[in-house]
Amino acid sequence: MAKRGKLCGSKYGGSAGVKVRFSQGYHQCVAQVNHTLCSAVRRREETERKHRAELAALTFAERDTLNRMAVDDDAWEDEAPPVLPFGEEGMFLSAAGGEHTIWEEFFKDEKCPRKDARTRRERTHIRTQEWQQQIGRLVDGYLAWKAGIIPRIAADAPPPWDVTLVDFWELQTDVVNPASWDEYPNESLARCGYLGTAPLRPSVAIAFRTLEAYRQLHYACPRLSIQAQVRALCRLHAVTYNRTLEVQFSIAYDVYLEILRHVDSRVDALQDKPPLKYSMLVTMDGNQSLKLVDDAFRAQAGTPLRDDRLGCSKNWLTPAEVDRWKDEVSRP
C-alpha cells in the first residue's frame, strides 16, 4: 500500500512514502518498514554529512594515513573538515589560556558574504578621487601611445598580470607588463592603448579606439546611448548582456573624456595657424532652463550630492561667481 502525499515538500502528487511488508520466517509475524522517497539532492546532502562526520572523528594521524592510502590515484583527497579531532583539542592549549576561543574562530564555517557598508555616494567619491590622483600619468600614457613610443621596462620591474581586453572586433585575455613598481596599472594599460574600468585593480580594459569610436558616433547621433553601444559589443563578441558591463563602459568613457580635456589644456595653438576673424562664437539663453530645476527632483529633499569634480566648460558658473552680482539686482 502506498500513502498519497507530497514528495519532499514539492508539488509532486505521487507517493511520499511506501510501506514494505516482508516475512520473518515460518510462524513469525509479518514485519513492516516505511521507506520515504526523497530527492537525489537530499540524499547527497545526507551522504556528505555522514562522510564529514566520519572524517571529523579521525585523529590527525588517521587523516594522514587515509590520504596516503591512494597516493597514485588521480582523485581528489578528502578535505579535512574545519573542526579539531575529538580528544586532541588540548594539544593547542597553553597555561596562558585563550587558545580554544581563537581556534573556534579559525575553524568556524563562515558562509555569509562580506557586505559593503558604504553608500553609492561614498563609492563614487572614492572612485573619483582615485582617478584624479593618476589622471596626469594617464594623459602621459595616452600621448605616448598616440606617438607610438614603446616604454622601457626596468630590470627589476614587477611581474606581469592578466587583464581582459575589449575592442570592437576582439575580446581576449592578455598579459600587461608594468614598466616599474611605481607605475599605476591604468598607466601601463594606457601605454598599450587601453583604459581600465577600475582605478586601482582593473580586470577589464577597453581600447581607446573603441571609446573614440563611440564618442564620434554619439556626436553624429546623440540618441545613441551607452547601453546601445554595450549591447552592440555584446552581440559582436557573443557575450550575454549584463548591467555591470554598461557601468564599466560608462566609467571608462568618463575617464577618457577627462583625458581628452587634459590633452586640450596642454595644447596652446598649432604652429603657423592662420588667425580667424572671430576667435569665439557665443550664444546665451538667459539661463532660463536652469530655473526650471525643482528641489523636489533632487536627492534627499533638496540636498545636493557631494561631487568634488570641477566642470571644464565655461558655460557653468559656481555659486560664488554668481553671488558677486546678487546685490546689484534692482528690486521693485
CA distance 83 to 89: 10
Percent of the chain with pLDDT over 90: 29
- The per-residue pLDDT for 76 is 46
- The per-residue pLDDT for 255 is 95
- The per-residue pLDDT for 249 is 95
- Residue 66 domain-assigned (yes or no): yes
Q: How confident is the model at residue 4 (pLDDT cuts 50, 70, 90)?
A: very low
pLDDT at 227 over 90: yes
Q: Are residues 244 and 133 part of one domain?
A: yes
Give 230-285 pLDDT, tens digit per residue.
Answer: 999 999 999 999 889 999 999 999 999 999 999 988 877 777 888 888 877 777 66
Q: Are residues 262 and 127 part of one domain?
A: yes
Cell of 330: 534692482
Residues 6+ apart with CB under 8 A from 257: 215
CA distance 202 to 173: 13
Query: Mean per-residue pLDDT for 14-36?
Result: 68
- The per-residue pLDDT for 95 is 60
Percent of the chain with pLDDT over 70: 65
- Sheet hosting strand 161-166, strand order edge to edge: 171-176, 161-166, 204-207, 194-196
Q: Which of 266, 290, 308 is the last residue of a domain?
A: 266
pLDDT at 120 over 70: yes
| Domain housing 170 | 120-266
Question: For residues 96 and 297, which has the higher predicted lDDT (pLDDT)?
Answer: 96
Q: Are residues 247 and 124 part of one domain?
A: yes
Q: Which of 266, 297, 325 is the last residue of a domain?
A: 266
Q: Are residues 124 and 75 part of one domain?
A: no
pLDDT at 314 over 50: yes
Q: Are residues 133 and 28 part of one domain?
A: no
Q: Which of 240, 151, 164, 150 is nearest to 198 (CA)?
A: 164
**E strands, the chain, in order:** 2-4, 15-23, 30-36, 161-166, 171-176, 194-196, 204-207
**E strands, 7-92, in order:** 15-23, 30-36
Q: Are residues 255 and 126 part of one domain?
A: yes
Q: Are residues 262 and 124 part of one domain?
A: yes
CA distance 140 to 149: 11
- The per-residue pLDDT for 58 is 74
Question: For residues 316 and 332, which has the higher predicted lDDT (pLDDT)?
Answer: 316
- Sheet hosting strand 30-36, strand order edge to edge: 2-4, 15-23, 30-36
Give 55-83 pLDDT, tens digit per residue.
Answer: 777 776 776 666 666 444 444 444 444 55
Letter string b/e over residues 90-127, b meaning 16 or more CB atoms within 10 A of that residue's CB: eeeeeeeeeeeeeeeeeeeeeeeeeeeeeeeeeeebee
Q: What is the pTM of this model?
A: 0.52
- The per-residue pLDDT for 3 is 43
- The per-residue pLDDT for 247 is 92
Query: How confident is the prediction for the chain on average, in pLDDT?
Result: 76
Query: Mean per-residue pLDDT for 149-167?
Result: 85
pLDDT at 85 over 60: no
CA distance 259 to 239: 29
Q: Which of 266, 287, 317 is the last residue of a domain?
A: 266
Q: Are residues 179 and 77 part of one domain?
A: no
Q: Are residues 74 and 134 part of one domain?
A: no
In the chain, how many domains are there? Answer: 2
pLDDT at 1 over 50: no
Give 164-214 pLDDT, tens digit per residue.
Answer: 999 988 899 998 888 888 889 999 999 999 999 999 889 999 999 999 999
Q: Are residues 126 and 83 part of one domain?
A: no
Q: Are residues 252 and 163 part of one domain?
A: yes
Give 128-152 pLDDT, tens digit per residue.
Answer: 999 999 999 999 999 999 988 887 8
Q: Are residues 130 and 77 part of one domain?
A: no
